[in-house]
Every structure is written in C-alpha cells, then in structure tokens.
Amino acid sequence: MASDDINQDDMADDWAAAMAEQADADEAAANPISFEELQSETNKVNPNPELEVILDIPVTISMEVGRTSITIRNLLQLNQGSVIELDRLAGEPLDVLVNGTLIAHGEVVVVNEKFGIRMTDVISPAERIKKLR
C-alpha cells in the first residue's frame, strides 16, 4: 500500500511538471510551426533526438476481441448468460490498441495463470504516424 502512495505521489509530481510545461507551450503557441518544420529543425540540431522526455508518459493499452452494434433496447435486455455476436471469426488475431490507435495484432496466451497477449504482427512506426495525420 505504501508503494502505491509513493507511486501516486510520483505521478502527481509528473503531472504537475507536465502542466507547467503545457503552460510554457501555450505561450510558445503564439508562433506555431508545422510538424514538417519541427521535424526538419529537430533533425538539423540532433539527427537522433532524445526521447527521454516522453518515455515516462503513461498510455492505455487495450486488446480488442471484436466489435458489434446493438440497439439500446437490446443492450437493456442483456443479462447473465447473454451472448453477443462480434464481427470477428474464432481464431482471428486480436487488435492491440494504444490510446485507441491500432499498433499490432496478437493472440491470447496464458502465463502463470494470467492472460497475456503475444504480438504476431506489429505495425511499423511509419505506418502509425501516417494514421495520425
């Protein structure tokens, strides 16, 4: 429990620092530049920019088995034992999403009696950046 408190304090400090940086960024936003300009300027100064600034930012990773759409009427009728048909076939790979963005496909595995996912196909960083635009 004490380590959770320490982690929460560290996270609160990280968020406070991020908010301070955001305030500085808001001031700099008066003279915005395009992503391409930023990228070319960064490459001129340092061809291998340090990523340390972003490596500790928490993200949400989720695995999606499938999707479907149902009406609110049907949603309200769901109870224990109800079955919902998804848009995937049995055995198809799961989608691995980071903050809602597809980054890979994988398969379910069991490790030490816990579920896990083995990445079977990871989308290249270049393709992920293209999807963001």
pLDDT digits (tens, 9 = 90+) for 29-51: 455 656 566 556 555 545 546 67
* pLDDT tens digits, 49-86: 667 778 888 999 999 999 999 999 999 999 999 999 99
Mean pLDDT value across residues 93-113:
90
Pair of tokens at residue 94 = 């799961």
Q: Which two tokens stand for residue 84?
A: 């919902």
**What's the CA gap between 47 and 24, in Å, rounded?**
25
How is 25-90 classified by DSSP, letter by letter? Answer: HHHHTTS---HHHHHHHHHHH-SS---TTTTT----EEEE-------HHHHHT--TT-----SS-T
User: Which residues make Cβ contacts (< 8 Å) with residue 49, sequence separation at least 6?
Assistant: 42, 43
